[in-house]
Every structure is written in structure tokens, then in C-alpha cells.
Amino acid sequence: MSTELSIEIELSPAFHDCDAMHVVWHGNYFKYFEIARCALLARHGYDYPQMQESGYLWPVVDTRVKYIRPLLYAQALKVSARISEYENRLKLDYEIRDAGTGQVLTRAHTIQVAVLAATGELQYVCPPILWERLGVQPQ
């Protein structure tokens, strides 16, 4: 898999993302995944506005998260997103690491499918525009 199909961003959890113990609330992890996913797709010119312009919607239909260690308020983090499947669905794998130690704190993935915006019809093969923007061929 090409390194162009992955990205790494840095962020630190904001106070409003945390509970009273200064631990990031589990649902906010998805916000961090989304920030990395959007950065990766934008690099390929196929972020959500371009997806919609191309006539497709890409709803998330499945997610998995393994919470290994808690994320803490103001902790320096590295969030990576990598496209691991793109032929019949768009699967992205994520990893959150402590920026200082490199310790893995979280692993996850999301699966998105193409839906024709005009009809709401599920597409069983990803549209060629995705492959074109990613610079890949169907597997």
C-alpha cells in the first residue's frame, strides 16, 4: 500500500473533550479519526464536498475501536489514518499514539460505502472517481 494512502496528524485533546478526570470521553475519539480522515481525503482532492460534487455520498456503516490506554487532556498525540481497502468499500485504519513516547493508545477502523446521491442507491463497487483521485487501480 502506498504511503500516499496514509497520513499522520498531531493534536492535543481540548478540555471540553474530557470528563471530570481529564480523560477524553470515548465518543470524542471519532472526532480525532474524522480530522485525520478528512486531511487524508483532502490531500487527494476528494474530501466530503468533492464527494458530494461527484454525485456520491459516503456514509460510515461500520466502526471498530480498541481503547488501549486513555487519552488525557492536553496530551500531545499523533493520529494516523491509512486507506486499507478501496475497491468495494472505503476502509480506513487508525492509530493514536503518544507523540512523545510513541506508545500506541488506540487502534480503530471505519468502513464507508458509496451511495448514489440522486437515488440513495448503494453502490457495490466504489466509483472510478475514488480510484482516480487516490491514484490507484481496483485490486
Q: How far apart are CA 84 and CA 98, in angstroms?
A: 23
Residue at grid coordinates 480498541? 66
Q: How far apart are CA 23 and CA 69, in angstroms?
A: 10
Q: Please, which pLDDT band fits residue 139 given cuts at 50, 70 and 90?
A: low
Report pLDDT digits (tens) over 63-119: 999 999 999 999 999 999 999 999 999 999 999 999 999 999 999 999 999 999 999
Alpha-helical (H) ranges within 1-139 are 29-43, 48-53, 128-134
Q: How far apart are CA 57 and CA 118, in angstroms?
A: 9
pTM recorded for the entire structure: 0.93
Task: List the CATH code of the domain at 3-134.
Answer: 3.10.129.10
- On the question of pLDDT at 1 being above 50, the answer is no
Domain locations in the chain as residue ranges = 3-134
The identity of residue 64, as a single letter, is R
Report pLDDT digits (tens) over 40-54: 999 999 999 999 999
Residues in the chain: 139
Query: How high is the pLDDT of residue 62?
Result: 98
Query: How high is the pLDDT of residue 138?
Result: 74
Query: How high is the pLDDT of residue 137?
Result: 83
- On the question of pLDDT at 2 being above 90, the answer is no
Q: How far apart are CA 129 and CA 126, in angstroms?
A: 8
DSSP 8-state secondary structure symbol assigned to residue 18: B
SS3 for 83? strand
Report pLDDT digits (tens) over 16-33: 999 999 999 999 999 999
Question: Catalytic residue numbers?
Answer: 19
